[in-house]
Every structure is written in structure tokens, then in C-alpha cells.
Structure 1
């Protein structure tokens, strides 16, 4: 991770859960982090809390580098104008981005025959289009600056490998799309003879605000399921970022021991 010290990462969906954990972990490794979310006012508190939670669980890893800076910015990933405004700010203020963590996602536990269209549209806008716009803008920014060692990380899901139940089918469809976009970007880099990397990190159940917002998964039985912590996913992100220049971790699946999905 030493080569990333002093460079710039954009982390989406950083006001809670995985995004907040990844933000503090990158910052601790000397990376300057632009953390974005619709609730920008919650980002700094969430990142600080994620770090405290990791320490309380004995999962915090001390580093010897000078911490990077954290920049909290408001951005709705369902709005292209918000995304473009963030990239303009990064270019004008920090010069550009070297790492992109596409973490933001929207989900619902309503079935295909009953969910309102706006729920589907939001998932498609955030999980696929927002991710793709961020990726396009990040890669174009890197290419314009002659950066050829940048790294894009998509946060996928185990449900992008298997549809778990009918109620989550549309969310699964968006995560299947993320895997297709991962391979598509890899082929794009090959065609451009680029040394940039693309990785997809697909976790199983993670005990975050995201899953807590789905009523179906707040039942007594579901709350007893084995689950990952946000920093477990963050550790995987650090792993793929820390590989040598000739190594690309294309996809990682992380499950808690005993996962029942």
C-alpha cells in the first residue's frame, strides 16, 4: 500500500457501513480520500465511528505513515450532475483521482410483482449507471493526466453470483451487471494497452445500515445469521490495492463462516 500514500481516492456511499470503513482504512494508509454520499454531513462522524468500531473489535491495524486527508462531499449517485460536479471539484482542488471505490448502492426487499417502479429505477440509476459514470469520469481523468497505474474497485455482492430469493431479484440483477461491467472494463484496459486495474469485491451478509433498512432481514432469525463487519470488506479492498503491478485480483468473494444464504 506504500505506493498509494499521498495519492487520491474517491469512495462513494461513505456515510455508513463499508464506505465509511474503506475511507478510514485508506486514510490511515496515507491516501487522501474524497468521501461522497447524499448525507455529506454524516460522513466524518461515520468514518470516525467505523474506526472506533474496528478498534473495539480488535480489528484496527496501526500504520506508520502520515494519515491522508478526508474530504466529505455531497453527491447523489442517481444524479449525473452531482457526479460530474464532484469530479470537477477533484480536478480543480486535488488534480485528479487515482483510486475509485464504487461502493454506493440502493436496494429493496420488495418482489418483482409488487415493487413500485421508482424502487427499480433508483437501483438501476445508482447501482449501474452511477457506478458506470463514476468509472468513466475516473478513467478519463487518469488518462488525461498520464496516470496508468490507477485502480477501480467495484463493491459487488454474493447475490451477483446467485439469486437468493424472488424479493431480491432486481437487486441481484444489478449486481450481476456489476460483474459484467468489471470484465468489460478489464477488456477495455487490455484494448488500450493500459496497466490500470479493475477488481470486484463481493461480500456476503455484512452487518451494516444497508441490510438493517430492509424489513425482511430484521426478523429474529435473520439477525442471528453469521455476518461480516465493514472492515472485513475494507481489508479485501486493501488487499487488491496492495498487489504488485503485474497482479490483478479480478474478483474476490467474502463470506462469514457459516453463512446460510
Structure 2
């Protein structure tokens, strides 16, 4: 199997949750590979700083402010991309949300926020990207950033509705793949499911003890660059090859 990113050079990739962590790492890697990357995230200033750091790379980075939990934001952004940047060839659904709490005690708004970002927003972005791919007859690629928690019961307390939302991503990825197979649509679908990755999500989510354990290296963790490399691997496969699911864990992870 010959691996190459050459077919994507100059093509448009959309990365959600692009302002930090895994999304930031994916943006950097794709721009280095010569792609035109559109980053969608709420924190525009952080993406603009990254844009300045990437100006001398082969590709280009276009930061666009967007709240993936709001459909109107997503639709506005895809209209902007279509009118100003070009047709979408790759979508990386990376934006994710976790709010610490227990299912028996959490409030309804927390559940809605998690599902709006992790599930509904992912589906809306996918729908809009697929519209473009089909209209332009593009053999594109949808990559859903899943989680180990989307497949197994992990031993981290306080994850609330997060595992359920990631199990939904597993099912959504399978459903999309089957839909495209039935319709003979040549769009690849990949679910990438990391174990623990050293990002700010644990601190932001209120999982402070677990965040401290990751920072102190008492819990093995991957880096965002590891996940960015995984994204490039699945993108570099030949047209006949589709990596449907990739589970990637740090060595000695036990959760």
C-alpha cells in the first residue's frame, strides 16, 4: 500500500474545534502538507495567532469563528467557505464538549450542550460538507474524532453524557459509511478513537483531578501531534482503502 498526501495538496479541509488541542495539531499538520485549511472554533484570536505562525508553510490557514453547538453558525460558515475559499474535500469533525457531573444529578442544559456539540453539530457539519462533495463529484473524506469512551466503559468518573455522545459518533460513522456504500458515493468515513490525550478538555470540563494526573504523567497520554499523524495516515491511503475505525492509545493505558 502506497501512502501519499499528494492528492490533497491545494484542496480544502475543514477542521472544527481548531483553536486548541487536537484541532490545533491537525490544522498545523495539514497546512504543512500543503492543504488549504479552514478552522472553525469560537476563539478566533487563538486561531489568528496560529495563522501567523503558519504563513510560511506550503498550505494556507483560514480561521473562521463558529460555535459548533449552533446550526446557524455552521450554515453561515459553510456558505462563507463555498463563496470565498472553495469546495470542501475533507471534513474533520473534531469539536467536542464534556461537562463534569453525574447522570443522576446533572441538569438538562448540560446534557443539551454536550449533545448539541458532540452529536447534532457533527451531523450538521457533515451534512453540509457532503452536499458540497456530492454536487462537485468529490471523492472526499469525513473524519469523526471519536473516543475510547465511544466503544468501552472507561474508568473516569464524572464523564456525564460524554460517553453516550461518543457512542452516538460510532453509530453515526457506521451509518454514513453504509449510506455511501448503498448509494455508491465515493466518500470515505473514518472514526478515530483516541485514549487519553494531553489537552485542556479535562480542565475545561471540570475533571480537575484527572487533568492533574495527566499533567503529572501518572496517567499515560498521547499528544495532539500523535492524533494529527493518525489523521494524515488515514488521508494518505489509496482510493480503494477506507480505514473505518482507528483506536489509538498510549502505551500502558488501562482505562
Fold-level similarity (TM above 0.5) = yes
- Aligned-residue offset at 1:168: 1.7
Cα separation, partners in 2 of 1:219 and 1:95, compared to 1, 3 Å:
closer
Structure 2 gap segments, 5+ residues each: none
Residue 12 of structure 1 is aligned with which of 8, 13, 16?
A: 16
User: Normalising by the residue count of structure 2, what TM-score does the alignment of the two structures yield?
Assistant: 0.91
* Partners of 1:46 and 1:31 in 2: CA distance: 15
* Secondary structure of residue in 1 paired with 2:191: strand
Q: 1:206 & 1:46 partners in 2: Cα distance?
A: 20
CA distance in 2, matches of 1:192, 1:66: 38
* Residues 1:249 and 2:243 are matched in the alignment: yes
- Asked whether 1:260 is paired with 2:254, we answer yes
Distance in 2 separating the partners of 1:124 and 1:225: 27
1:112 corresponding residue in structure 2: 103
Asked if 2 retains the 8 angstrom alpha-carbon contact of 1:160 and 1:179, the reply is yes
Q: 2:169 aligns with which of 172, 175, 178?
A: 178
Distance in 1 between the 2:114 and 2:34 partners? 33
Q: Deviations over 1:88-134 (max 9, x none)?
A: 00110122100000000000221112222111111100000000000
State how far apart, in whole Å, the 1-side matches of 2:251 and 2:213 are: 19
- Structure 2 counterpart of 1:131, from 99, 122, 128: 122
Residue by residue over 1:159-197, the C-alpha shift from the partner in whole angstroms, topping out at 9 and shown as x without a partner, is 111122552241000000000000000011112111110
Q: How is 1:1-261 mapped onto 2 (pairs within 5 angstroms)? A: 1-46=5-50, 67-147=58-138, 149-165=139-155, 167-213=158-204, 214-220=207-213, 223=216, 224-261=218-255
Q: Give distance in 2, aligned partners of 1:131 and 1:85.
A: 15
Question: How many Å separate the matches in 2 of 1:10 and 1:221?
Answer: 29
Question: Residues 39 and 63 of structure 2 are in contact (CA less than 8 Å); yes or no, is this contact kept in structure 1?
Answer: yes
From the superposition, tell whether residues 7 and 118 of structure 1 become closer, same or farther in structure 2 (CA, over 3 Å).
same
Give RMSD over aligned pairs. 1.8
Aligned mates of 1:20, 1:222 — CA distance in 2:
19
CA drift at 1:143: 0.9
- Would the aligned equivalents of 2:12 and 2:90 in 1 still touch at CA under 8 Å? yes
Any stretches of 5+ residues in structure 1 without a counterpart?
52-64
Distance in structure 1 (CA, Å) of the matches to 2:179 and 2:85? 26
CA distance in 1, matches of 2:8, 2:213: 42
